[in-house]
């Protein structure tokens, strides 16, 4: 199969997740094109692909606008082939906030009217060294609510095994 992965990333973790997904799929003998949703895509012909994976992260309760716009623009192509959505957030990694992580996805689906064949809620990362004052306050007090885990430390919450399993299951259903 020839698979297109389009991702949105603000601090880089979803870019890393999309690259790992591409590697996994190539290891399984398929072709992958990896695109950042922030880069121009006028040369992209979606008819060339057999399946699609869209990955985006959540900031202030929303996925990247560039991803939303891409899905809007290519709604029909995405709906006619197997497709998957990977939603990266802190809520997905915090035990008591899974419902919240699902709400971000529900909202994305209702806005774009794109119903992916499969969805993965995946934990992202904390990168305090990259945040300005406002971002740091938002992450500590709005997203994390409690101070657990210690909110000053950079930490990667991404479950790489869950991602690899998800990629494998997607290939099975799409193939
Ligand atoms: C300013 C800011 C706002 C965020 N808002 C949310 C949020 O509303 N809900 C959530 O679950 N995670 C939130 N996060 C956590 C991000 O989704 C997480 O850090 C993710 O790994 C970012 O992915 P990226 O590096 O690909 O941009 C926020 C992070 C930052 C820096």
Whether residue 104 lies inside any domain: the answer is yes
Return the ligand 1 atom nearest residue 101 CA. 11
Give per-residue pLDDT as tens, 40-90.
Answer: 888 899 999 999 999 999 999 999 999 999 999 999 999 999 999 999 999
CATH number for the domain that contains residue 52:
3.40.50.360
Is pLDDT of 151 > 80? no
- Assigned domain for 62 exists: yes
Identify which of 15, 62, 63, 139 to mutate to test ligand 1's pocket (most ligand atoms within 8 A of the CB).
139
What secondary structure does DSSP assign to 130-160, as a single string?
A: G--HHHHHIIIIIIS-S--S-TTS-EE---H
User: Does residue 167's CB lie within 6 angstroms of at least one atom of ligand 1?
Assistant: no
Residue-level pLDDT at 141: 80
Nearest CA among 163, 83, 154, 155 for reference residue 121: 163
- Sign of the Cα torsion 131, 136, 139, 142 reads negative
Q: Is residue 153 in some structural domain?
A: no
55 Cβ inside 6 Å of ligand 1: no
**Could you list the residue range(s) of the whole structural domain that residue 35 is in?**
2-126+158-174
Q: pLDDT for 97-120, tens place per residue?
A: 889 999 999 999 999 999 999 999
- Asked if residue 9 has its Cβ within 6 Å of ligand 1, the reply is yes
Instruction: Give backbone dihedrals phi and psi of 37, rounded to 5 degrees, phi first.
Output: -65, -20
The verdict on residue 17 lying in a domain is yes
Domain count, the chain: 1
Residue 150: CB atoms within 10 Å: 8
Torsion angle of alpha carbons 96, 121, 158, 35, nearest 10°?
Answer: -150
């Amino acid at each position: 199969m020839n698979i297109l992965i389009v991702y949105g990333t603000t601090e880089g973790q979803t870019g890393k997740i999309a690259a790992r997904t591409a590697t996994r799929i190539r290891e399984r003998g398929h072709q992958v094109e990896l695109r950042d949703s922030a880069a121009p895509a006028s040369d992209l012909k979606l008819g060339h692909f057999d399946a699609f994976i869209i990955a985006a992260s959540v900031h202030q309760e929303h996925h990247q606008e560039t991803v939303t716009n891409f899905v809007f623009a290519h709604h029909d192509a995405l709906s006619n082939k197997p497709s998957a959505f990977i939603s990266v957030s802190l809520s997905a990694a915090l035990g008591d906030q899974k419902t919240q992580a699902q709400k971000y996805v529900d909202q994305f689906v209702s806005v774009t009217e794109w119903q992916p064949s499969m969805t993965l809620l995946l934990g992202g990362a904390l990168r305090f060294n990259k945040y300005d004052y406002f971002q740091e306050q938002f992450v500590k007090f709005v997203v994390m609510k409690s101070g657990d885990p210690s909110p000053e430390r950079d930490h990667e919450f991404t479950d790489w095994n869950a991602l690899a399993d998800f990629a494998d299951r997607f290939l099975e259903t799409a193939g």
